[in-house]
């Protein structure tokens, strides 16, 4: 053994005896000795095995002694693990690394115990012991903190609260706790919020509804400035309606109901359903092209809202996602609705299921789960009533039955709640003052909107008795039972196949009422296999049968017990001439029955998948759950024509009103109304659900225009200019009037493009 070895060993021994008396040295001292021995060995030859064996034996003996010493001190050992003193005790030398980090659990406990011992001291900071300090110096930092001991070799108590010099005291249990959550910056929080929003169910539902609307109404948006779906007659009228309401509300709201058409008649805006709810869209853009673009956009959005509204209603009632999707798609793209593509006020029906869904959500009610007071929310009730009022503002054609349905729901719900609360089982069923207030205010708002909108229509009915419908008119548009199984010509799947059946119908545009054979099948299955309770299924079936009977008008036992009583006793019902549009409610109820069946089927698929390894559906099971939705989508494909809208004549951009455009008829006047959106001049022309007597007389007297009688009558009405469109005269009673002389009539004639303008 060399001199350096002997000195190092003696120093290590003194350090060990200083800490624990007669006990063997702790791990820190052992680590220090080993470090000193290692440096001494570097200065000697490598051929001294005696030194290596001696050093190894001393280290092993020290570890065993310290293990025995700390066996009965588990608390101190646990406290020291991961603490700052233990980190210092690990040292920089190789032996210290083995001792402090540990090759075995016993070694870890010894290191921890020694850390507490070395940080102890009654009157001095840690690291100020006698021999221990020497060992630390010789060990080149292998052990930097040892404590001062008493006569009995026990650790001082004061050192437990004193941190090592130059270090901050930390919680010794922090090593055992979970890692702290990272503190997110504001941009990262914003990104996370946006991500959650984008993958939310309702975000995906809105996006899917919009995508389906674009695809299933294609090519509506292919040339949205120049074409209109179905034809350019009623769509031209409704394009003008949106443009007029937006224009007049910005310029002179008091004249809303006195439109520029049907001059000199008043209240002419109420001659048909107004689409007043779309007035905000009408405030954007001017002219015919903007009006056509607006119509096409609203046409697509109406389909998207119908899909989303029915989806929301089915989800609120308790259907699953795929079942609700079936309800939404079948409601918006039922084959019978393809014949209504030219009637935006009929296609715009999405507010009906959406309002019902919001009201049910606000009242905490679900078809599947019943009344749940904890889910009440007055805000949703307010929203439901507002959406219902907006839907009513689009027109009474489908809005009036909806208003009566809401009134019936409110009445029945009040009676049932009162009966259960006070008579059947007198228990408290919480309703809430705020929710009651929401219903009172919302219901009053809905009623006020309905009343204000009804006033012009009752005025028109009083001024124009010929505007009222009769039972004979209803009979003309009442479809037979075969209409429920006949598709319109616009159906891509069934159109050609049902050509013979359509030929047997008296007025097939309003009598082809097929909601879809797939929907029929799914709804029939929903009567036997569904998530809805049996009584609810029976109620839905009853609703289907009642609405189908109403849709048949006078064809169902002459309507004696169905349509006729409503026609005679309900205010406003005599203004509805097409009973077949009640099929809208039939389609919605069939969709809810189908949603119950599809939801039950999907639940069964999940049960089967739970028995698999891994426990999720395979590709065939997934396809099976989507198959009903795919079939409903396919049956809704269309071949709707999109004709090009006639170009606005230059004369309509320059000639002042009041004016008359010839030739004139119900269909010919509707594009003229659209052309007037550049300046909204007053004009005699106009097309609606009926023909005012004054307009009929103008058409009759101008067959010989220009002659004295027609000129005098037009002057008496206040008409200043007459525009004759040459390219539209062929085949009309005005075909030859353009060649008539004007001598002696006191009028002038001027060629403006393809039109002839007579100034009276």
DSSP letters, 385-420, are HHHHHHHHHT-HHHHHHHHHHHHHHHHHHHHHHHII
Q: Are residues 607 and 672 in the same domain?
A: no
**Domain assignment present for 582:** yes
pLDDT in tens, 97-123: 333 333 433 334 333 333 333 333 333
Last residue of a domain, one of 137, 162, 187: 162
pLDDT in tens, 501-536: 999 999 888 999 999 999 999 999 999 999 999 999
At residue 468, the pLDDT reads 84
CA distances from 397 to 34, 74, 189, 402, 575 (A): 99, 85, 48, 10, 8
**Lowest model confidence (mean pLDDT) among 222-231, 379-388, 490-499, 602-611:** 602-611
Q: Is the peptide bond before 219 cis (omega within 30 degrees of 0)?
A: yes
CA nearest to 370, candidates 423, 414, 426, 429: 429
**Domain assignment present for 388:** yes
pLDDT band, residue 420 (cuts 50/70/90): confident
Cα angle value 662/668/669 (rounded, 5°): 75
Strands 721-725 and 659-662: parallel
Q: Are residues 145 and 224 in the same domain?
A: no
Largest CA-CA distance found in the chain, in angstroms, rounded: 147
**Lowest model confidence (mean pLDDT) among 138-152, 370-384, 568-582, 676-690:** 138-152
Q: Which two tokens stand for residue 22?
A: 């007669």
At residue 374, the pLDDT reads 87
pLDDT of 222 > 70? The answer is: yes
User: Under a CB-based contact definition with an 8 Å cutoff, are residues 757 and 718 in contact?
Assistant: no
> Based on the structure, what is the number of domains in the chain?
3
* Eight-class DSSP state of 291: H
Alpha-carbon distance of 245 to 275, in angstroms, equals 9
Q: Could you list the residue range(s) of the whole structural domain that residue 228 is in?
A: 218-635
Taking each continuous run of H as one helix and of E as one strand, the counts in the chain are 30, 6
Handedness of CA 399, 403, 404, 410 (dihedral sign): positive
pLDDT in tens, 604-660: 988 888 777 776 667 777 888 899 999 999 999 999 999 999 999 999 999 998 999
CA nearest to 550, candidates 454, 491, 448, 474: 474
User: Under a CB-based contact definition with an 8 Å cutoff, are residues 550 and 579 in contact?
Assistant: yes
pLDDT of 1 > 90? The answer is: no
Mean pLDDT of all residues in 226-240: 95
Q: Are residues 587 and 665 in the same domain?
A: no
At residue 166, the pLDDT reads 52
Alpha-carbon distance of 505 to 484, in angstroms, equals 11
At residue 606, the pLDDT reads 86
pLDDT band, residue 180 (cuts 50/70/90): confident
Residue 660 parent element (H or E): strand 659-662
Alpha-carbon distance of 300 to 211, in angstroms, equals 10
Q: Which two tokens stand for residue 537?
A: 């299924």
Provide the 3-class DSSP secondary structure of residue 638.
strand
Q: Which residue has the tokens 């930390």?
A: 170
Alpha-carbon distance of 159 to 147, in angstroms, equals 8
Provide the 3-class DSSP secondary structure of residue 683.
strand
**Lowest model confidence (mean pLDDT) among 119-123, 272-276, 421-425, 697-701:** 119-123
**Domain assignment present for 66:** yes
Using CB atoms within 10 A of its CB, is residue 452 exposed (0-12), middle (13-18) or buried (19+)? exposed
- List CB contacts of 720: < 8 A, sequence separation 6 or more: 656, 657, 658, 659, 759, 760
Q: Are residues 529 and 485 in the same domain?
A: yes
Edge-first strand listing for the sheet containing 659-662: 659-662, 721-725, 755-759, 748-752
At residue 416, the pLDDT reads 82
Residue 326 parent element (H or E): helix 321-332
CA nearest to 260, candidates 641, 611, 683, 568: 683
**Domain assignment present for 629:** yes
Q: What are phi and psi of 633, to 5 degrees?
A: -60, -45
**Domain assignment present for 53:** yes
Q: What are phi and psi of 746, to 5 degrees?
A: 70, 25
Mean pLDDT of all residues in 425-449: 85
At residue 425, the pLDDT reads 65
At residue 282, the pLDDT reads 95
pLDDT band, residue 56 (cuts 50/70/90): very low
433: left (phi over 0), alpha (psi -120 to 50) or beta: alpha
Mean pLDDT of all residues in 437-457: 95
As a whole number, the mean pLDDT across the chain is 81
Q: Which two tokens stand for residue 552?
A: 């048949």
**Domain assignment present for 181:** no
Alpha-carbon distance of 511 to 361, in angstroms, equals 35
pLDDT of 273 > 50? The answer is: yes
Last residue of a domain, one of 635, 660, 678: 635
For residue 698, the tally of other CB atoms under 10 A from its CB is 22
DSSP conformation letters of 482-549: GGGG---TTBTTTTTTTHHHHHTSTTGGGT-----HHHHHHHHHHTTS-SS-HHHHHHHHHHHHHHHH
Alpha-carbon distance of 94 to 117, in angstroms, equals 22
- Percent helix, percent strand, percent coil in the chain, to nearest 5: 60, 5, 35
Quick one: what percent of the chain has pLDDT higher than 70?
76
Q: Are residues 737 and 596 in the same domain?
A: no
Q: Are residues 670 and 539 in the same domain?
A: no
- List CB contacts of 146: < 8 A, sequence separation 6 or more: 15, 18, 19, 28, 29, 117, 118, 126, 127, 129, 132, 133, 135, 136
pLDDT of 495 > 90? The answer is: yes
**Domain assignment present for 168:** no
Instruction: Characterize 49-59 residue by residue with b for buried, 16 or more Cβ atoms within 10 angstroms of its Cβ, and e for exposed.
Output: eebeeebeebb
Alpha-carbon distance of 176 to 82, in angstroms, equals 9
Q: Are residues 660 and 719 in the same domain?
A: yes
Last residue of a domain, one of 142, 162, 182: 162
**Domain assignment present for 336:** yes
User: Under a CB-based contact definition with an 8 Å cutoff, are residues 597 and 522 in contact?
Assistant: yes
Q: Are residues 448 and 301 in the same domain?
A: yes
pLDDT in tens, 686-727: 998 889 999 999 999 999 899 999 999 999 999 999 999 999
pLDDT band, residue 14 (cuts 50/70/90): very low
For residue 131, the tally of other CB atoms under 10 A from its CB is 18
At residue 3, the pLDDT reads 38
Q: Are residues 342 and 462 in the same domain?
A: yes
Q: Are residues 476 and 370 in the same domain?
A: yes
Q: Are residues 666 and 614 in the same domain?
A: no
Alpha-carbon distance of 711 to 760, in angstroms, equals 7
Q: Are residues 354 and 493 in the same domain?
A: yes
pLDDT in tens, 344-373: 999 999 999 999 999 999 999 999 998 888
């Amino acid at each position: 053994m060399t001199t350096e070895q002997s000195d190092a060993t003696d120093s290590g021994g003194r350090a060990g005896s200083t800490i624990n008396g007669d006990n063997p040295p702790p791990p820190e001292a052992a680590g220090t000795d080993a470090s000193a021995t290692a440096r001494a060995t570097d200065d000697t030859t490598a051929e001294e095995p005696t030194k290596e064996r001696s050093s190894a034996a001393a280290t092993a003996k020290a570890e065993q002694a310290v293990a025995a010493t700390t066996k009965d001190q588990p608390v101190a050992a646990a406290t020291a693990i991961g603490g700052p003193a233990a980190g210092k005790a690990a040292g920089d030398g190789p032996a210290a690394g083995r001792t402090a980090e540990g090759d075995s659990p016993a070694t870890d406990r010894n290191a921890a115990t020694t850390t507490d011992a070395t940080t102890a001291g009654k009157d001095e900071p840690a690291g100020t012991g006698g021999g221990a300090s020497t060992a630390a110096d010789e060990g080149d930092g292998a052990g930097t903190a040892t404590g001062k001991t008493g006569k009995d070799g026990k650790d001082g108590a004061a050192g437990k609260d004193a941190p090592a010099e130059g270090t901050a005291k930390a919680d010794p249990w922090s090593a055992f706790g979970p890692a702290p959550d990272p503190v997110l910056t504001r941009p990262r929080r914003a990104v996370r919020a946006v991500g959650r929003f984008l993958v939310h169910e309702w975000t995906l539902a809105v996006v899917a509804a919009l995508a389906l609307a674009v695809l299933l109404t294609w090519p509506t948006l292919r040339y949205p400035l120049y074409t209109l779906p179905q034809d350019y007659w009623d769509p031209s009228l409704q394009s003008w309606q949106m443009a007029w309401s937006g224009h007049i509300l910005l310029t002179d709201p008091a004249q809303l109901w006195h439109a520029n058409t049907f001059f000199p008649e008043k209240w002419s805006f109420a001659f048909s359903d107004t689409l007043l709810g779309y007035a905000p869209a009408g405030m954007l853009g001017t002219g015919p092209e903007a009006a056509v673009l607006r119509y096409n956009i609203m046409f697509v959005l109406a389909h998207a809202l119908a899909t989303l509204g029915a989806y929301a209603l089915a989800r609120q009632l308790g259907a699953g996602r795929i079942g609700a999707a079936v309800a939404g798609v079948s409601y918006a793209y039922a084959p019978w609705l393809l014949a209504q593509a030219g009637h935006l006020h009929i296609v715009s029906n999405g507010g009906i299921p959406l309002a019902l869904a919001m009201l049910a959500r606000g009242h905490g009610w679900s078809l599947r789960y019943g009344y749940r007071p904890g889910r009440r929310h007055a805000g949703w009730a307010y929203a439901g009533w507002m959406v219902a009022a907006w839907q009513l503002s689009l027109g009474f054609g489908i809005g009036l039955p909806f208003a009566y349905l809401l009134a019936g729901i409110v009445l029945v719900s009040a009676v049932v709640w009162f009966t259960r609360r006070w008579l059947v089982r007198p228990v408290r069923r919480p309703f809430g003052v705020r929710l009651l207030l929401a219903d009172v205010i919302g219901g009053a708002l809905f009623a006020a909107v309905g009343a204000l909108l009804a006033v012009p229509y009752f005025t028109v009915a009083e001024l124009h008795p010929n505007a009222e419908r009769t039972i004979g008119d209803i009979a003309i548009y009442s479809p037979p039972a075969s209409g429920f199984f006949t598709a319109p010509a616009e159906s891509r799947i069934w159109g050609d196949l049902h050509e013979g059946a359509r030929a047997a119908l008296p007025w097939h545009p309003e009598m082809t009422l097929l909601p879809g054979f797939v929907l029929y099948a799914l709804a029939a299955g929903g009567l036997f296999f569904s998530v809805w309770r049996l009584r609810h299924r029976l109620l839905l079936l009853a609703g289907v049968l009642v609405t189908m009977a109403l849709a048949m008008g006078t064809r169902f036992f002459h309507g004696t017990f169905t349509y006729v009583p409503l026609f005679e006793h309900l205010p406003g019902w005599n203004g509805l001439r097409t009973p077949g549009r009640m099929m809208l409610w039939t389609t919605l109820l069939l969709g809810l029955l189908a949603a119950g069946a599809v939801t039950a089927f999907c639940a069964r698929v999940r049960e089967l998948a739970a028995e698999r390894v891994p426990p999720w559906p395979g590709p065939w099971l997934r396809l099976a759950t989507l198959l009903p939705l795919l079939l409903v989508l396919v049956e809704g494909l269309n071949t709707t024509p999109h004709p090009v809208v006639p170009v606005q004549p230059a004369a309509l951009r320059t000639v002042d009103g009041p004016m008359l455009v010839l030739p004139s008829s119900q269909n010919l006047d509707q594009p003229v109304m659209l052309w007037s959106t550049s300046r909204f001049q007053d004009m005699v022309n106009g097309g609606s659900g009926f023909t005012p007597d004054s307009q009929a007389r103008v058409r009759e007297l101008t067959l010989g225009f220009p002659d004295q009688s027609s000129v005098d009558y037009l002057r008496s009405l206040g008409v200043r200019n007459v525009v004759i469109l040459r390219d539209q005269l062929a085949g009309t009673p005005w075909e030859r009037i353009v060649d008539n002389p004007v001598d002696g009539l006191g009028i002038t004639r001027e060629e403006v493009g393809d039109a002839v303008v007579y100034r009276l």
